Chain A
Amino acid sequence: MAEAKDKTIEEQRHEALTAEITAKKKEIKERKAEEIKEGFLNPLGEGTSYAEFQKAVADSKKSIAEYCKGKLEKATIEWIENEIKQIKE
């Protein structure tokens, strides 16, 4: 308690924010690990990059369409395919 009083409002806010961001990152990391374990890394998940998604697809030895079939809508799969095409270009 005494320590908190010694800190400025700015320092306290920075600490709280850093803790919040760290917790969020941990949550995202755990969720992604769980999804990969279950066999489908959702590309729409917060914090999932296309690089991570492409790796998951490559590891599955499937095409993007095959990997996402039944998990995402057709229009979303087409959009993601188009997005990845743009990255490759």
Chain B
Amino acid sequence: MAVVFTGTKLPQSELAEIQQELYQDSATFREKWVDIQEGHKSGTDVYESKVSVTAKAASSGKVVADASITLRADKTPVTLTSIEFSDIVDESTLLDTRFERSMKSGAYNRVSNEFDNAVLQQVTPAIGEALESMIWDGAKSATKVSIAGLVPGAGQGSISAGAQTLVAAMPTNLIDSLPATILYNASQSKNTPGAGLGDYKKVLSIAAVTSATIAAEYAKIYATAPSKVINNKTNVPFIYAPLGDQQLIKIANNAVGAAQQVNFLVEGSGASEKVSYNGIEIKFVPLVGFRVLADPRYLKVIMDLMSDMSGLNIGEVGEGAMQRFIKNIQTLATWVTNQKYITLYGG
């Protein structure tokens, strides 16, 4: 007996789970890998102090003013920038899809609970990923122009041509990333106060970082860093490195045969994994080209409220529109202090 079917053939089942995109963890904020300063609306003053003392031959006479003790306090105003992520969502396009089943009865109701739970809720981790990237990579257009205008040189106290190339290739953002701020800022605490090149320590004679060279390049960072930073047992520094360095480090560590040299210490696994070089923990962040060795207190993200990152305002557009708005807003800026103790690879 012949079986005859007339009509369009459709799949009769579907996978229940909607596979979500993978978002880069915003660990810099969550784990406070840098100094997160909250409670600032539009701007703040950053103070730095420094005392220098000079010993002199003891005297039984009265103390006179001779500038052998210098007490210095510098104030630098830092302006915060407000940024937002917002858009209009029109769920009419979800009609005739699986999401229609979770819409309430009534032609006016087009909000799908399933869509909200499976797709819309990803807006927050996507914002987290975007902010994490912004603080490690990118610069304002004005900063890019200023950095491009610096006179390059090989020695300390001048920017490398490589750094200018990296900054030119950075995304143009509304805020400066930490590397951009390290390279160029208007701190009043620098050797030459005001807008210009930062006082960072530059790693010289750098080469392309591959699994074969990564140990040698990290040795250069370690050797360049000021001893005061390396030897500080109370406030231990971190190395901030591009995400891809983790793979290069493990490939380098696990080379087979004569090439094997275990230069990096890898402890634990998964969320508790720690990777370190000469006792300095490496934090893998979305840096591009640059690497930073610094006391985390000297790298600052100044913001209104960190939880603004996960706050999503959703509401009806109004006036009869069958649409909803999504809006997330936050205010932040990156800043650096004690710049001469920040080592910048690629700078």
Contacts and interface: CB of A to CB of B under 8 A. Distances in A.
B173 interface: no
A16 to B, nearest CB: 8
Interface string A28-61: 0000000000000011111111111100000000
B158 interface: yes
B151 A79 contact: no
B210 to A, nearest CB: 15
B72 A13 contact: yes
Contact of B161 (A48, A76, A86): A86
B77 interface: no
B107 to A, nearest CB: 61
Nearest to B67: A16
A13 B70 CA distance: 10
Interface residues of B, number: 21
Contacts of A53: 153-154
Contacts of A75: 205, 207
A45 B155 contact: yes
Interface residues of A, number: 28
Nearest to A42: B155
Q: What's the dominant secondary structure at chain A's contact region?
A: helix
A19 interface: no
Contact of A44 (B72, B155, B161): B155
Interface string A61-89: 00000000000010110111011101101
B152 A79 contact: no
A52 B151 CA distance: 10
Interface of A: 13, 17, 21, 24, 42-53, 73, 75-76, 78-80, 82-84, 86-87, 89
Interface of B: 72, 151-158, 160-162, 164-165, 191-193, 204-207
Given A21-B192, A46-B155, A76-B204, 4 more contacts: A75-B205, A75-B207, A83-B160, A86-B162
